[in-house]
Every structure is written in structure tokens, then in C-alpha cells.
Amino acid sequence: MRTVTSAILASICAVTLVGCGGSGGTIIGTDHNPRIRLVDAFSTPATANLLVDNQVLKTGATYESATDYNIFENGNHQIKFLDGTTAAELQNSTQLLELNQFYTAIAYRNSSNTWSLRLLSDKPDISTADGQLRIPNTANNPVDIYVTDVDADITAASPTIASEDPGATAHDYVVVPLSGAAAKNVEIRVTAVGSKVPIATTTLELNAHEAKTVVVTQSGATVDLYKLPTVTY
């Protein structure tokens, strides 16, 4: 099932960021200020510099890499991706960052080779103790996505997320029931729409109260799955 998230993270300071710094950037002085991380989901150019306004969050970023969460004042901010060698501007998008929010900004090139940026609000449904997954698509074509037990047969299965368009604006978290267990291993398989043949696959462990984002990426003809650091709520 898919769960549309509606709960706002009321106490941002209580959220633990696993695998990312969480304290980088300019700390304004309130735990309620928005946090944002930037993701490089493009393979050309080989490196990029990632900025919010004129603050550099990461230099020499490579394909499938991300910054830590950084704290900014609420309001409009320029999210910039620059060529790591020439400093040419690749992507510059003004986005509103609101209080009590975590954001993930993913830059990628679409099937027309046009630069695109997708800003996601990292708001899992904190009413459930199960694991949760969000799988945005930045590949060139729509895909079907299956989230199953490891090595499960998907021949007769319906996609967990069907026909997800590249850059789709709505990315709900998929609730993965743990059935009372502390953790569960799951497999994510990406196929062309209507196909049962995986074009990308990965496995991961989901723990109770964990929200994970795995990005469908593409470099040339190769589709991949990029796991972002976990948010524990």
C-alpha cells in the first residue's frame, strides 16, 4: 500500500540523522529552521559544486553523492549546481524552505538532456512504527517499482509503485510492515512499465521508525538505485 504523508515533524530537534552530519552549514539559532540536503543525480559533468545561495555545501561532488543536511533560515533560497571544473552554472532554482521541514533537492538531466531539479519534503508518517521507503524516479523513462521480500517472485505481482514518471512531483512514502519485528530485509526492483525484467535492483534493511529514500538514477543507458542516508524519526 502507499501512504500519503500528512504529519508534520513538529519537533525537528528530536529527529536523528543516521549517516549524515546534520550540523553542517550556518546554524541560525533555532531548532525549527528548515534543513536541506542536495543530491547529484547526473553523471555529466564528472564533478559539481553544490550551493545554497552563496554557501558551498559540497565541492567536487560526483554522480550519486549527497551533502549532509544543512540548516538555513526559512524563506526563498537559490539552490545551485555548478560545473566542478569550469564553475559554469548547471542548475539554479529558487525554492521556498519552510519552518519545521527537512528537504532533499535532487538535480538530474531528463530524457531531453535538460537540467531539472526536484525538491522533496522529507516528512514520513510518524504515526507508524513500521519502516518506510520513498523511491523518486530521475531516470529517462517511466518505471514500475516492486518492493518485496528478498528474492520474492514478482511474476504475478502488481507493482508497489506503478508507472512512476521521471521527476513526478508527488513522492509518497511506502509503508513496509515489520509485523512486530525490529527489522526487515527488502528488495527493490525497477522494471520498464509492464515488464517483469529488472533493470535495477538493490536490497536494504529497514528498521522500525526508519524512513529511507532510494533514487532511481540513470547514467547513459544504465539505470541504478542510489540509497540516501537514513532518517530516523
User: What is the distance between the alpha carbons of residues 101 and 69, in angstroms, rounded to a whole number?
Assistant: 11
Supply 64's cell numbers: 550519486
- Residue 170 has what pLDDT? 57
Closest CA to 20 of 174, 212, 187: 212
Q: What is the pLDDT of residues 97-144, one digit of tens each?
A: 999 999 999 999 987 888 999 999 887 777 778 989 999 999 999 999
Neighbours of 62 (CB within 10 A): 14
Of the pLDDT bands very low, low, confident and very high (cuts 50, 70, 90), residue 168 is: confident
Closest CA to 80 of 112, 124, 131, 40: 40
What's the pTM?
0.84
- Residue 171 has what pLDDT? 60
User: What is the distance between the alpha carbons of residues 123 and 82, in angstroms, rounded to a whole number?
Assistant: 28
Neighbours of 111 (CB within 10 A): 11
Give the chain's mean pLDDT: 85
Residue ranges per structural domain of the chain: 2-232
Arithmetic mean of pLDDT, 197-213: 94
